[in-house]
Structure 1
C-alpha cells in the first residue's frame, strides 16, 4: 500500500500539471486510513503553499535536472523538505519515509538521490534561504512577487506570510436541522475542539482542522465548510418568501445553498456558472443538504437566451477574481487554469499600464442587471 508521502507526491505532481486539487485529493485518500489521510492532506496543502521555496531548494542540491517523466520525484523531495521544516516527525524518520516513498512510486533507483538531497538540506539549511531569490524566499512565483511588491510595498511581507500559513477551518451550521449551540455540543462529544465564530450566527471555528468525514452529521447535511466572510452574503441579500433569486457565478454553491437554508420559501433559486463540471459540485452540495435549485450552464457576461427570458427579484454576482487571497486554503500552482489566466491578463495589462481585473469585473454587473424585474425593492449584490 502506498505511503501518505507517496500519495501526496503523486497528487502534487498531477496538480502541477494543471489538474484540480479538489478532485484529486479524494481519489488519493481511497487507499489510506483516516489517520493517514490527515497526514497526506497536510503534506499536499503545505507543500503546494510553499512550492516555489521548496522547488528552489531542491534545485540547489540536485546534481542534474530530472527528466520530465520523473518530476513526481521532485514533488516527493519537496514533500520531504516540507515535513522536515514543519512537522514533528523526527528528521531521520522523515527522510526514511521519503526514501520509501520513492520505492512506492516504483522508482527504487531514486532512493539514494532522495536520501542525499534531504540529508544535504539537513546539514546545510542554516543560511540557505538567503542564497535564494527574494521571490523564492517568500514562497512566491516571480511574477506574483513582482505584483505584490509593486502594488503593496512593504506590506507585501504580511500578505506573503499569510498565504503560507495554515488557514482556519470554518463551518456553517444548517439551522434547518439544529442550532449552532447544539452542533458545538456534538463536536465536543466527538472530541473536536471548536468555538463559535464571530460575524455569522451560524459559523463555527474548528481549532484544529479535521477531515470532513469526521464531522458529526456532515453527510446528513447538518453542516458545510464555508469561510466566515462568505457566510455574510446570504444575510446581506436577505431573500424573502416567494422571491426568485439568481446566483450568477454559483459554483461550488456555498452561497446559494446558504440562501436556501435561510429562506426555504423562495419561489425559485437559479444557480448559474460557466463551467458544467463545477456545476456538478453545486448539485452534489444541494443533494447532501437536501435542497432544490435550478442549475444553468451559462456565461454571466454573455447571457444566453435560455436565461434572458427569466426575471429575478435578487441577483448575486460573485464575479471572477485572482483568487490570490484564498491561496492558503486553496493553493494553486503555476499551471492551474486560474493562475495561467491571471498571469496572462496581468502581463498584458502591465504593458498598457492598466488594472486588468478591475476593468474586467466592472463590466460584469450590466448583463445580469437586465434580469431584474422592474418593480420596486429589487436588488443586485456584486
Structure 2
C-alpha cells in the first residue's frame, strides 16, 4: 500500500522542526520537496525560508499565546503554528485558508488532539494582530548574541545589516564574457520580458527585478549566463589574472568562482578547483560542463598539501575560506538558528591554518585573495593583520576599488537589502626573499 502523501503544511512543519534540531535547510528541505506535489514546491520552500527568517519574532509571539509547555510528543505543533503565523504576518495568503489548512495538518501529522489548541492560538493571533516586540531577539528577529556582536563590531551599520538579513535576497546573474556582453544580455532579457539592470560594482553582473526559474533565462543551458551574487563576482577583479598563470581556487564548491575565473581570462594555463567534499565537487563539474570550461577538479583538504599538491607553485590563489556565513543570512536564514557564538573562534583557527598552509604554495610575486562571506572582523581583517605581522614576505596589496569599507587590512562589504551580499576581501602579494629581507631591515 502506497504511503499517504503529507500535505504542504505538515511537510513544512517537519522541515522547520529538523532545523530547530540542528539540520540545515539545504539538507532538510530537498527530501520534503520531493514528497510535495509539484505545484506546491515553491510555496513549501517559501514557507520554510520565511519561517526561519522571522523565527525569533514569531516564536516570541507564540510564547505569549502558549500558556503551558507542550508534551514532548506534541512539539510538532510549534513549527506548525510558526509557519501559519509567518503567513498571517508576512504574506498575502487568505487568512481563513491559513487557519483551516494548519488545523487540518494536525490530523495529517497524527496529532488530531492538537487541532483545538492550534485553532485557538491562530484565531487569537488573527483577532489581536501582531504584538509589539518586547525583546531584542523579537525586535530584530535575530538571536541576541548575533545582534550584540554586530552592534559591537559595527556600531554605525549594525541595524542596516539586520534589516538586510531579514530581506529576501535578489537574484543576480554573471554574464559569460566569453560568449556575450552584459549589454547584449540585458537586451535579450528585455526581449524575453524579464526586467533587469546592471549591477553597480561587478562588471559582468545583472540583477533581476524579480527572481525567475533559470529555464526562463535566454541561453542559460548553453552557458551564456550563471547565477551568482554580485559580491562573489568581485574576486576576478582582485586576482589580476593574466595569460599563462596557474590558479588555485581553494574551497571551490559549488564552482561559481572557478567558472568566473575561467570566463575572465581565456588564456590561463590551468585552474585547479580544490574542495574537501567530493560530493560538492559534482556541482563544480556540472557548472564547468554547462559553461564548456576546462579545469582540474581535485578532492582534498586544502591544508593537507601532501595529499593533493603536486609541488608546482601557483601564480594566483583564491582562498574563499569556510566561515560563519554571517554575510549571507538573507540567503540562508537557518543560520540564525544553527550558528552559535562559540563557533567563531574555531572557524578563525581553521581560516588562519588554511592561509598559513596555502601561502607556501604561492610563487614569489604571486597574489592570494582571501575571501569570506562573513561580516565578523574576527574572521576577516583581524586574520589578515595577524598573518602579515607573522610573515615578512606578505604584503597587503588591495587595489583601489569603489566598493566596501576599508578596514585597514581588506575591504568589508555589508549585505545590502537591494543589492549584494556581505563579503570580505583582502589581497596579499608574496615578496621574494630579497625584497622581504630588505623590508625587514628598513
| TM-score, L = length of structure 2 | 0.73
Is the aligned partner of 1:379 residue 2:350?
no
Does the C-alpha gap of structure 1 residues 63 and 153 become closer, same or farther in structure 2, counting only changes over 3 Å? same
What pairs with 1:187-202 in structure 2 (closer than 5 Å)?
Answer: 187-202=189-204
Aligned match for 2:236, one of 234, 258, 266: 234
Q: Partners in 2 of 1:145 and 1:133 — Cα distance? A: 11
Aligned match for 2:315, one of 313, 316, 322: 313
Structure 1 or 2, whichever has the larger Rg, is 2
Structure 1, unpaired ranges of 5+: 350-355
Q: How many residues align?
A: 366
SS at match of 1:326: coil
SS at match of 1:269: strand
Once the two structures are TM-superposed, the CA of residue 164 in structure 1 deviates from its matched residue by: 0.8
Q: Partners in 1 of 2:219 and 2:110 — Cα distance? A: 39
Greater strand proportion = 2
Name the structure 1 match of 2:359.
369
Q: Partners in 1 of 2:293 and 2:58 — Cα distance? A: 43
SS at match of 1:218: coil
Shifted more, 141-150 versus 221-230: the winner is 141-150
8 A Cα contact 1:298 1:304, kept in partner:
no
Aligned match for 1:269, one of 256, 267, 271: 271
SS at match of 2:174: strand
Is the aligned partner of 1:257 residue 2:256?
no
Name the structure 2 match of 1:206.
208
Is the aligned partner of 1:45 residue 2:33?
no
Does the C-alpha gap of structure 1 residues 379 and 15 become closer, same or farther in structure 2, counting only changes over 3 Å? same
Once the two structures are TM-superposed, the CA of residue 50 in structure 1 deviates from its matched residue by: 1.4
SS at match of 1:171: strand
| TM-score, L = length of structure 1 | 0.84
Is the aligned partner of 1:114 residue 2:90?
no
Q: Partners in 1 of 2:179 and 2:226 — Cα distance? A: 12
Does the C-alpha gap of structure 1 residues 154 and 59 become closer, same or farther in structure 2, counting only changes over 3 Å? farther
Q: Partners in 1 of 2:37 and 2:223 — Cα distance? A: 24
Aligned match for 2:132, one of 129, 135, 145: 129
Structure 2, unpaired ranges of 5+: 371-442
Name the structure 2 match of 1:353.
none
Name the structure 1 match of 2:295.
293
Shifted more, 86-95 versus 33-42: the winner is 33-42
Does the C-alpha gap of structure 1 residues 211 and 142 become closer, same or farther in structure 2, counting only changes over 3 Å? same
Once the two structures are TM-superposed, the CA of residue 302 in structure 1 deviates from its matched residue by: 4.4
Once the two structures are TM-superposed, the CA of residue 69 in structure 1 deviates from its matched residue by: 4.8
Once the two structures are TM-superposed, the CA of residue 360 in structure 1 deviates from its matched residue by: 5.9
